[in-house]
Structures are given as C-alpha cells and as structure tokens.
Amino acid sequence: MYLHEKLLVTDFIDMTVSHVEPVKPPPVESTSFKLVPDVDLEHNHYRSFQGLTCLVQISTRMEDFIVDTLKLRVQIGPYLREVFNDPTKRKVMHGADRDIIWLQRDFGLKGVKVGETLEYLVKRFCDVASNKEYQNADWRLRPLTGEMLRYAREDTHYLLYIYDLMKRKLLSSSTYPNCPEASLVEVYQRSYDLCMQLYQKEIMTENSYLNIYGAFSCGIQGLCEWSDIIARSEDESTSYILPNKVLIEIAKQMPVTTGKLRHLLKSRHP
C-alpha cells in the first residue's frame, strides 16, 4: 500500500492563510536559475512509442531548476522519492493528470500531498501567456534552445504564487457558512484522486481500433495493427506514424494503387 492510500483528503488540506498578501515572483529573467544537466514535466510522447520524460522542472519561491532526466534518469527516483512521499512537503503542479502517471512510469514516484492548479490561471493572475509552439516540441533534442528553457521555466515559475492566491480565494468565497473550507476540500479531493492513479501500460488488442472516434470499417483494424507494429519498431508514436484522421480517410477511400495512396497521404499528412 502506498503512503497516500493511508491518508484522508483532510490530511492534505492546508487551512493556514497568511495575513500578508501573496507576493508575485520576479520575472524569469531576474530569477536565479540552475540547469542540472548531469514539478512539472516536459514529456515527449509524439516522437516515442510509450513516451518518456525528458525534463523535470522545479521552482521554489527563490529559484528555478531544470533537471535533464535523459542524463540523470537512474538518479531521479532515488533522490526525489523521499520528497514526493513526504506528506509534510507540499508539491504544486498544474494540469497534473498525465504528470502523475509519467512520474510513476519513468521514476517510480508517487505524488503525496500534491496541489493542482490550471494553466489558464498563469495568464489570469500573472498576465503571462505560454508559448504554445513548444507544447509538442521534441524535448529529446540537446542542447535545448534558450526559448525552450524559458518555456520550461515558466511552467513552474509562478505556481506557488498561484497556489497562494487560489487558496485565499477558495477560503473566502465558500457558499457554505458553516464550512468555509468546502471549496478547498473539493479542490484537494481532485488532487487526491489524481494521486491515486496507477500507471498501466497500453496494450494493443484486437478491439483497440474501436477507441478511434469515427471508426466504422474492419479495414481500420488492420491499419491500427500495422501502425502499432511500425511505431514499436521505430520507437515513434502511432500518431506520428499514422494520425487517426489519416487512418480513417484511408479506410474510407480504400486506395487500390500505390500512387493513389501516396496522393492521399500527401494531401492529409504532408
């Protein structure tokens, strides 16, 4: 049994509210930064079959850190496990649905006492818009460009400040006079549920093609199986080898010559 399974949601809740207004962190440019080459994640799932975590970003209230998990892969679990398992240390993440799974899969880490924020709050509270260009970047590339490092830092740079603001707003806006922490409990329930996720390796079955929206043809099953075989052998995602939209279009048109298939692929998947 994992530690967090022994805890209740109420064990995670921090009811303390400082009378001092939360202080917005300084700009990224003036914040101490350390790249660790030898908690948010940058994950490469488009150019890898199962996906792999390429970076771990960590920000305190004073510093930003980026850990190169390609070089330090075997060290991540042993060095961070104590922190992640410690219920007295709060970890703040945003959009952590997949991050929790990736930490388990790649490093054997289970999140305990994780608070979650949402990406749009960075724009709302800090007036900082993330560069969408790098959302699906190939984070395996080394060296990382300055723009990629900035994007990675901004993923965590503002999270503690946003957490402070969210907690104050949730405690002050409760619609239940007798339970001012009700809204906060709801948020922590979601975080608790995220931590309870378990990584399960995706397995190709004869019915996997049914998960594709719009799948209607038995030909799709064969295309899915082919895509899965090629993706595994080349260590690419099935979306990179043959996107679902293209797969469905091939099944619809059923090109009978190589030329027609090439024409279809060029028009749909240049």
pLDDT for 196? 84
Quote the pLDDT of residue 137: 85
Provide the pLDDT for residue 43. 65
> What gap in Å lies between CA 240 and CA 11, rounded to an integer?
43
User: Dihedral of CA 122/128/132/137: which sign?
Assistant: negative
Among residues 195, 217, 247, the one where a domain terminates is 195
Asked whether residue 203 is domain-assigned, the answer is no
How much is the pLDDT for 132?
Answer: 75
Whether residues 184 and 232 fall in one domain: no
Tell me the C-alpha distance between 76 and 79, whole Å: 5
Task: Give the C-alpha separation, 187 to 189, whole Å.
Answer: 5
In a domain, 201, yes or no: no
Boundary residue ending a domain (147, 167, 195): 195
* Whether 154 and 221 share a structural domain: no
The three-class DSSP label of residue 147 is: helix
Cβ atoms within 10 Å, residue 215: 19
The answer to the question of residue 98 being in a domain is yes
CATH, residue 161:
3.30.420.10
Domain boundary among 150, 172, 195: 195
Asked if residue 200 is part of any domain, the answer here is: no
At 192 the pLDDT is: 83
The backbone torsions φ and ψ at residue 64, rounded to the nearest 5 degrees and listed phi first, read -115, 140
**pLDDT tens-digit series, residues 133-180:** 887 788 988 999 999 999 999 989 999 998 888 888 888 877 777 777
Alpha-carbon distance of 156 to 108, in angstroms, equals: 21
Please check whether residues 219 and 141 belong to one and the same domain.
Answer: no
How far is 172 from 20, CA to CA, in rounded Å? Answer: 15
Give the span between the Cα atoms of 60 and 156, in whole angstroms: 9
Whether 59 and 161 map to the same domain: the answer is yes
* Angle subtended at Cα 236 by Cα 258 and Cα 74, rounded to the nearest 5 degrees: 165
Do 43 and 83 fall within a single domain?
A: yes
> 174 and 235 share a domain?
no
Tokens of 170: 């949730």
Is 138 among the domain residues?
Answer: yes
Q: Contact, 47 vs 138, CB < 8 A?
A: yes
Q: Are residues 164 and 241 in the same domain?
A: no
| Residue 202, domain member (yes or no) | no
* Distance between CA atoms of residues 265 and 206, nearest Å: 25
The reply to whether 214 and 259 lie within a common domain is yes
Burial of 240 (0-12, 13-18, 19+ CB in 10 A): middle
Q: Based on the domain organization, do 49 and 96 belong to the same domain?
A: yes
The pLDDT tens digits along the chain (270 residues) read 455 556 666 666 666 666 668 888 988 999 999 887 546 666 666 667 677 899 999 999 999 999 999 988 889 999 888 888 887 888 888 777 788 888 898 888 887 666 656 667 888 888 888 777 887 788 988 999 999 999 999 989 999 998 888 888 888 877 777 777 788 888 888 888 888 888 887 776 666 666 665 455 567 888 888 988 998 898 888 888 888 888 888 888 888 899 888 888 887 765
In a domain, 212, yes or no: yes
Based on the fold, state whether residues 110 and 215 are members of the same structural domain.
no
Residues forming beta bridges with residue 34, ordered by sequence position: 65
Whether residue 78 sits in one domain with residue 125 = yes
Q: Does residue 87 sit within a domain? A: yes
pTM to 2 decimals? 0.70
Instruction: State how many domains the chain has.
Output: 2
Shared-domain flag, residues 46 and 137: yes
Provide the token pair at 197.
């996720």
Q: Residue 230 is part of which domain span? A: 208-268
